[in-house]
Structure 1
Amino acid sequence: MAVSRAQRRAFFAAWLGYLLDGFDFILITLVLTDIAAEFGLDLPQAATLVSAAFVSRWLGGLVLGAIADRYGRKPAMILAILAFSLGSGLCGFAWDYWSLFAFRAIVGVGMAGEYGSSATYVMESWPKHMRNRATGFLLSAYPVGTVLAAFAYQLIVPSGGWRWLFYAGLVPIALTLYLRRSLPEAAEWEREGGGSSVLFAPGRRLVNALLAAVITTALVLVFSRTATGWPLIVLVVAGLFVLTVQLAGRRWPVVLGVIATVFCAFLYSWPIQSLLPTYLKTGLGYEPGAVATALTWAGLGYAAGSCLAGVLGDRLGTRRAYVLGLFASLAFVFPVFALPAGNVVLLWVLLFGMQATSQGISGLLPKYIADHFPTRTRAAGLGFSYNVGALGGAVAPLAGAAIAEDIGLGNALTLLAVVLTLVVAGLVGFNVPARLERYEWGITCNERK
C-alpha cells in the first residue's frame, strides 16, 4: 500500500514541527559555556540548565497526551509547538540562573507534547505495515534541527551573543498557523473516536494537580541541586508510581517496564547529546566553527540512522532492529572518545557512525512504545511513559559532569554510553515490558513480536 498525498502532507507537517523542536531544544547545549561565564556557574551547575527541560517533560507528555486523546492529535501538536517556541524565546530574556531554569522548563513541556502528538499523528495517518518507517523518518527531523542550530550558533553567537540564538527559537510559532488551517486529523483517531483520561476525571482533578505540584517541586529541588538526599528522590519515585497506577490501571507493570527502558536509553544517549559540545571545546580545544562542523556530521548520522532504523524495523521487526543498532553503536563509542585533537576528518566519520547507530536507532522508540497502548489512550500512554523515562535525560548531564570530575569528561561519556547501551539491549531484546503483564488487549504476552 503506497503512501497517499494526504499522508505525505501530514508527515511533512509533523516532521517540520519536530525539526523545529530539535532546533529549540538543543540550543542550550551549544552555549552552555557562554551562559556559565555570564552567570558565574561551574560546569555541574550549568549542566542543570539542560536538565531543567526534563524536569517538566513528564507533565507535558501527560497533559498534552491526554488532550491529544480527548480532542485530537492536531490541536495537541499546535499547543506543543507554541510552548517550546515561547519557552525558547523567553530564554533570551533570562536575567539569572533561576529565570533561565524556568524558561527551559517551558521548553520541556512543549517538547514532550510534540514528541507524543507528532508520533501518534504520523503513525495513525500511515498504513500499519509502514509505521516503523513513519516514526524513523519522523525522528530524523530532530537531528536536522540540531544541525540547523549548529549553523545558527556559528552564524549568530560570535557576533550577536548567546541571547540572539534563543530569539531565533520563536520562528516555529509561524508553523502553528499552517497546522491549524491545512491539516486533517489523524485517520485512525477519527475512526475510533476520542478517549478519556483519569487525569481530568472530576473526582481526581484536585488530587492529581496537588500530586503533580509535589512531584514537580521535588524534581526542581533535586535537578537544580538546591536540595539533595534520598527523601526527595523517594518522594518523586513514589509520586510517579502512584500516578502510573492510577492512569494505567491493572496494566501499570507494562508501563513501568516501558519507563525503565526509556530511562536507561536516555542515560546512554543524553550525556553525549548534552555534553559533546562542551567536550569538543574544553577537552579537545576546538573553536566554535570546528564544533559546529563536528555536530553537523553527528546530526547527519543521527538523521540517516533514524531513516535506516525505520526501514529495518519494518523488515526485521521493531525489537530485532533496535537491538542490532545498539550493539553496532558500541564499535564507535570507544574510538570517538579515544581520538586525540587534530584528527578532524576521522572525528567526523566516527561521530556520524556513532550517532547513526546509537541515536538513530531511537527512531524506533515511538513505535516500540505505542505497541503497548490502544488508540484511545495511545498519546497519553506514549507521552507519559516516554517522558517520565526521559528523566534519565535530566540525570544524564549531571551524571556525566560528576563522573568527569574523577576520570575526565571523555572517559565518563564512554562509560555511561557502553554500560547503559547493554542494559537497554537486554530490556528490549528480552521484551521485558511485555513480560511484566499477563495479557494485553486479549493477547498473551508470548504472542508479541
Structure 2
Amino acid sequence: MATSPPAIPHSFRSLTGQQRKAFFAAWLGYLLDGFDFVLITLVLTEIADEFDISLTKAATLVSAAFVSRWFGGLVLGAIGDRYGRKPAMLLAILAFSVGSGMCGFAWGYWSLFVFRAIVGIGMAGEYGSSATYVMESWPKTMRNRATGFLLSAYPIGTVLAALAYEVIVPVAGWRWLFYAGIIPIALTLYLRRALPEAAEWQAEVGDKPEVTTSSVLLAPRRRLFNGALAVLLSTVLVLLFSQNAGSAAWPLAVIVVLCLVTFTVQLAGRLWPVMLAIMVTTFCAFLYSWPIQSLLPTYLKTELGYDAGQVSDALTWAGLGYAAGSCLAGVVGDKLGTRRTYVFGLFLSLAFVFPVFALDSGNVVLLWMFLFVMQATSQGISGLLPKYIADHFPTRTRAAGLGFSYNVGALGGAVAPLAGASIAERTGLGTALTTLAGVLTAVVALIVGFNVPARIGRALKIESDAPALAMTKSAPETPGSKTPDPVIPDVPETAERKAPRGL
C-alpha cells in the first residue's frame, strides 16, 4: 500500500516545539549581542572627552572588536564543528557579555581597546554559531526565514541600547551603559539546560570529530605554527587599527593578508579561492554598512546638533527598519531565491541613501522615515547573508567556514569608521557616509548577482557537497521547491575523512 510523502514545512505553524525553542534561544542571544556590540558607537564623544583623545582616535575603539573577530570566528567555529553548535553559541554569549561588562571598568584607551576585542571574539562566535544552529535545526525550505528572522534580533538589540543610552548616560554616565552588558550571562545558564543540539549537525557529524575543522587546524604538525601565526596576525592588526603602524602600514597590511590566506588554505583546502571570494564579498558589505552603523550617532550629534533623546529616536527608527527588513528578506528569499532577493534589496536601497544625508536638522519626521526604509533595504537584506555564505560550506565544516570567512570579511567594519572619518575630514561626514554606502552597495550587488564565488568553484572544477557548489554541477536552486528534505544518512568512515584536507 502506497504511503503519501511527509508534509513539507513551509510555515512557522508547522515547526516543532524544539525548533521554535532553538530559534527563540538563538534570537535572544543575538539580540543581546547587538545590544552589547553597539554600545561603543553611542558614547564615542563621551569617551573622547574623558580620556582626552580625538574623535578620530576614539573611533578606533569601534574597530577594536573587529581586530579579534577573525579569531573568534575561527576558534568558536571550530568548537561548533567539533563539539556542537550549542556549546559554541553559549561560549560566544559568555565572551561578549564579560567583555562588555569589563569596558565599564576601563581606565584608559588601551584597556578599553582590549576589552572591546573580547567583545569581538564573542560576537564573531555568536554570528557563526547562532546562524548555523538555527539553519540546521529548521527545514531546508525555511532557511532564508531562519536567518532573516534571526538577524532581526540584532537591530532590536541596538534599539534597546539606544533607549538605554537615553535613560542611563545623562544620569549615571557612559560606564553604567556597559555594566548593563553583563546581563546576557544569565541567559547562558538557561540555554545550557533547555536547548537541544542542531539536528543536521547531530546527523552528519555527531561523534565524528575527525571530519571537522579542529582536526585540520590543531593537527600535531600545525599547532605551534598556527599558534605563532595567530599571535603575529593579532599583533599586526592591533598596530594597524589603533593607528600606531605609522609608515609601516602597507607592509603590515600585506602581512595580514598573507596570514589570513594561510589560515584559509588550511581550513578550506582546494576550496580556498571560493572562501576568499566570500571574504571579499563580506568585506565590501561591511564597508557599505558599517560607516553608517558606527558613525550615524556621531553624525546626528555633530552635524545635525541632535541631543541624546533625538539620537535615540533616530536609532530606534533605523533599528526597526533593519529588523523589519530582515524578516521581509527571509520571507521573500524563500519564495524568490536567496541571491535574487539579496541583489534586488541592495539596488533598491540606493534610492534612499542620498536623501538621508541630504536632509537638514529640521526635517525630523522625514529623516526618521528615510532611515527606516534605508535600513530595511540595505541592512535588512543582510539577513540573507548567513544563508548565502553557509551554502558554500558542507555541514561538517560549516560553523568554522561561515564564522571565519564572515569575520575576516568583517575587517571591513574595522576599516569602515576609519575610512568614513578620513573622508569626512575633506568632504564632511554626511558626504563620506553617502559615498561609501552607495559605491560599495553596488559592488556587493554585482558580486552576489553574478554568483562570483560559485563561478570560481565551477571554473576550478572543485568537487564539494556544499549546496552552492553542488548546484553548479546540477540543476540550479528553484525557489519554493516542493522537494522534501532528504533524510541525512550516516556517512561511512574513509581514509580521506580521517585525515581531511580542509573542506
> The TM-score by the shorter chain falls in which range?
over 0.9
From 31, 41, 49, give the equivalent of 1:19. 31
Instruction: Measure, in 1, the Cα distance between the counterparts of 2:168 and 2:258.
Output: 44
- Whether 1:215 and 2:233 are equivalent positions in the alignment is yes
- Give 3-state SS (helix, strand or coil) of 1:63's partner: helix
Unaligned runs of 5+ in 1: none
Would the aligned equivalents of 2:270 and 2:462 in 1 still touch at CA under 8 Å?
A: no
In the TM superposition, what whole-angstrom CA distance separates every residue of 1:355-396 from its partner, at most 9, and x where no partner exists?
000000000000000000010000000000000000000000
- Find out whether 1:161 has 2:173 as its counterpart: yes
> What corresponds to 2:59 in structure 1?
47
The residue correspondences of 1:221-236 to structure 2 (distance < 5 A) are 221-228=239-246, 229-236=249-256
Gaps of 5+ in 2: 1-8, 478-503
1:445 to 457, 461, 472: 472
Counterparts of 2:419 and 2:257 in 1: how far apart (Å)? 18
Q: 1:196 corresponds to which residue?
A: 212
In structure 2, C-alpha distance between the alignment counterparts of 1:440 and 1:111, rounded to whole Å: 32
The reply to whether residue 8 of structure 1 matches residue 31 of structure 2 is no
Deviation at 1:211, TM superposition (A): 0.5
Distance (Å, rounded) in 1 between the aligned partners of 2:357 and 2:385 = 26
What's the CA shift for 1:42? 1.1
453, 467, 472: which is aligned to 1:433?
453
Q: Does 1:321 align with 2:344?
A: no
Indicate whether 1:370 and 2:390 are aligned: yes
CA drift of 1:196 comes to 1.9
Normalised to the residue count of structure 2, the TM-score between the two structures is 0.88
Task: Confirm or deny that 1:276 pairs with 2:296.
Answer: yes
| SS of structure 1 residue aligned to 2:379 | helix
1:136 is aligned to 148
Percent of aligned pairs sharing the same letter: 76
Q: Say which one has the larger Rg.
A: 2
C-alpha separation between the residues in 2 aligned to 1:193 and 1:227?
43
User: How far 1:153 sits from its partner (Å)?
Assistant: 0.4
Q: Which deviates the most, 220-229 or 283-292? A: 220-229
Q: How big is the shift at 1:446?
A: 6.0
Distance 1:161 1:132 in 2: 40
The AA in structure 2 aligned to 1:57 is R
Distance (whole Å) between structure 1 residues aligned to residue 53 and residue 428 of structure 2: 19
- State the 1:444 CA deviation: 6.3
Aligned: 1:387 with 2:407: yes
Higher helix share: 1
Secondary structure of the 2:68 match is helix
| In structure 2, distance between residues paired with 1:239 and 1:10 | 36
The total of aligned residue pairs comes to 449
Q: Which of 3-12 and 13-22 deviates more?
A: 3-12
1:175-186 map, 5 Å: 175-186=187-198
Q: Which amino acid aligns with 2:239?
A: L
Q: Which of 78, 83, 91 is matched with 2:103 structurally?
A: 91
Counterpart of 2:185 in structure 1 is 173
Q: How far did 1:76 drift?
A: 0.3
User: Which amino acid is the alignment partner of residue 320 of structure 1?
Assistant: R
Matched, 1:257 2:240: no
* In 2: Cα distance, 1:261 partner to 1:156 partner: 38
What is the deviation of 1:89? 0.2
- Per-residue deviation at 1:286? 0.3
Give the counterpart letter for 1:212 in structure 2. Answer: A
- Offset, 1:43: 1.8
Q: What whole-Å deviation, never above 9, does each CA across 1:53-109 have from its counterpart, x for those lacking one?
A: 000000000000000000000000110000000000000000000000000000000
Instruction: State how far apart, in whole Å, the 2-side matches of 1:178 and 1:78 are.
Output: 10
* Closer/same/farther in 2, CA of residues 174 and 444 from structure 1, 3 Å limit: closer
Task: Output aligned runs, 1:49-128, within 5 Å.
Answer: 49-128=61-140
Counterpart CA distance in 2 for 1:118 and 1:202 is 30
**1:149-187: CA deviations, max 9, x gaps?**
001001100000000000000000000001101100001
2:292, 2:53 → 1: CA distance? 20
| Pick aligned residue for 2:49 from 33, 37, 51 | 37
State the TM-score, normalized to the length of structure 1: 0.99
Q: Which residue of 1 aligns with 2:484?
A: none
> Are 1:439 and 1:445, in contact at CA under 8 Å, matched by a contact in 2?
no
Aligned Cα root-mean-square deviation (Å): 0.9
- State whether structure 2 residue 267 is matched by structure 1 residue 247: yes
CA distance in 1, matches of 2:451, 2:63: 29
CA drift of 1:276 comes to 0.1
How far residue 6 of structure 1 moved from its aligned partner, in angstroms, is 1.1
Verify: 1:360 aligned to 2:380, yes or no.
yes
Q: Give the drift of 1:346.
A: 0.5
Give the Cα–Cα distance (whole angstroms) in 2 for the partners of residues 390 and 217 of structure 1: 18
Give the whole-Å Cα distance in 1 for the aligned partners of 2:53 and 2:369: 33
Aligned to 1:290: 310
